[in-house]
Structure formats: C-alpha cells, structure tokens
C-alpha cells in the first residue's frame, strides 16, 4: 500500500484533492440541509393544511427515493427543463458539483426535518402558547423558542443523519464529481490495484465518520451538561 502512494506522487495529490472535494461537498450540503430542514419543520407546523400536505409529500419523496436516483434526476433531468443559456452556464461552472450538492441537501433535509419534528413533539405543551402570550409572532416562537429546543432534543438522530450524509457524498462520483471515490477509481484504473486503492478510500471515510461521531458525542455532552446546570 505504501509503495502505491510513493511510486507516483500524483496518486497522493489526486487522493488529497478528492478528499478536499468530498469535504466541501459534505460541508456545504450539511449546512444547507440544516437550514432547509428547519424551514420544512416550520412549514409542517404551520396552521395551513395545504402547506402541511405539500411538505409531507416533499419529505416522503426524498425519504423513499434512493439518493442515487435523486442525484440523477438533478444532474440529467433538471437541466433539460432550463433555458439553453442556463444549461451552458451549468456546464461551464462545475454543474455536476452543485447539482449533486442540491440533491444531497434535499435528501438529508427530508430526514433531518422528521427528526426536528419529533423533537418538537417531545417538548412540553403550552410553550408555544406561553411565547405568543408574551407578544411573540408565530415565526418568532418557532425560531427563538421551539426550534432551538427541538434541535437539542433531536441531536442524537441528527448526528446519525449527518453521518449518513457524509457517506452519501460518495454517490456524487457517478455524475463526474472529482471526490474521493472518483480519485480512488481513477487510480485503480491506472494501477489495477483494486484492493489497496479502495482500502485507502475506506480508511479515509472511516476517519471522517469517526470525526463526525466524535463531534456529535462532544455536542451531546455539552447539551447534557447545560441541562444539568439548570
């Protein structure tokens, strides 16, 4: 395995570049997924039944259709619905990266919104009414009172969804994103050393997963400590 990397310095550079792209894809998708999940949760809790049903349909689609299919829909299908000028712009500006990012964002947001909704249900009843009695609007009640508590209550499942999102980034290589898996496949095609190449990729994904789990455990300890201090 060592000689695989040392025999050609380009292999190391290729893997490091792929790892950086994977990190960027994960970080951007994760941040956007949190925002979208919060918006979906707020919409799901809104008084409008039509809005609730629309969000429920959105969530069911993204939870029940495989992530790979969703990436294909965004990469191969959505651009065909756009004007020709937009299609050319996408092709010139790493469209495979940000279209994969959109697909992964919506995929993860659907799961995270359900975790947040469960967190909302676990809160003591009457908090929303108490906040509104103090003059807060519906949006302020959700943003300042309910959603922060729901996020803390759903922290464990949210960490699991974060981990699932990190692993799902490997699907982006199917549409040409130069991520870690794409780099590993390229090196494997050149060296024919399948086992060693994908073992290195596995170690990289394992290390990333451990970092996420470690960060999640740290956050959970902080939340428990904050609750204990009250």
For 124-149, the DSSP string reads PTTHHHHHHHTT--HHHIIIIIIHHH
Q: Are 68 and 171 in contact (CB under 8 A)?
A: yes
Tokens 């000028």 found at: 85
In which domain, by residue range, is 19 found?
2-228
139-192 pLDDT tens trace = 777 777 788 888 888 889 999 999 999 999 999 999 999 999 999 999 999 888
136-152 pLDDT tens trace = 777 777 777 788 888 88
pLDDT at 205 over 60: yes
Calpha distance 125→132 (Å, rounded): 13
CATH number at residue 159: 1.10.3720.10
- Model pTM score: 0.89
Residues 6+ apart with CB under 8 A from 126: none
pLDDT at 47 over 90: no
Domains in the chain, number: 1
Residues 6+ apart with CB under 8 A from 140: 131
Calpha distance 41→122 (Å, rounded): 14
Mean pLDDT of 11-19: 92
Mean pLDDT of 78-93: 89
For 49-118, the DSSP string reads HHHHHHHHHHHHHHHHS-HHHHHHIIIIIGGGGS-HHHHHHHHHTTHHHHHHHHHHHHHHHHHHHHHHHH
Calpha distance 46→55 (Å, rounded): 10
51: number of Cβ within 10 Å? 14
Q: Are 132 and 105 in contact (CB under 8 A)?
A: no
């Amino acid at each position: 395995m060592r000689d695989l990397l040392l025999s050609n310095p380009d292999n190391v550079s290729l893997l490091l570049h792929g790892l950086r792209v994977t990190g960027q894809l994960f970080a951007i998708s994760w941040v956007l997924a949190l925002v979208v999940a919060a918006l979906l949760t707020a919409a799901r809790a809104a008084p409008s039944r039509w809005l609730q049903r629309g969000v429920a349909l959105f969530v069911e689609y993204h939870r029940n259709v495989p992530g790979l299919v969703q990436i294909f829909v965004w990469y191969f299908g959505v651009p065909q619905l756009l004007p020709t000028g937009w299609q050319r712009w996408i092709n010139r500006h790493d469209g495979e990266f940000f279209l994969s990012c959109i697909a992964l964002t919506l995929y993860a947001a659907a799961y995270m919104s359900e975790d947040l909704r469960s967190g909302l249900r676990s809160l003591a009843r009457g908090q929303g009414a108490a906040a509104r009695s103090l003059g807060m609007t519906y949006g302020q009640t959700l943003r300042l009172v309910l959603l922060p508590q729901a996020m803390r209550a759903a922290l464990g499942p949210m960490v699991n969804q974060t981990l699932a999102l990190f692993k799902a980034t490997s699907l982006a290589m199917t549409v040409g994103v130069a991520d870690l898996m794409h780099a590993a496949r390229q090196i494997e095609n050149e060296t024919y050393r399948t086992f060693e190449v994908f073992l290195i990729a596995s170690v990289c994904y394992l290390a990333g997963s451990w970092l996420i789990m470690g960060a999640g455990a740290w956050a959970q300890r902080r939340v428990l400590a904050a609750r204990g201090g009250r």
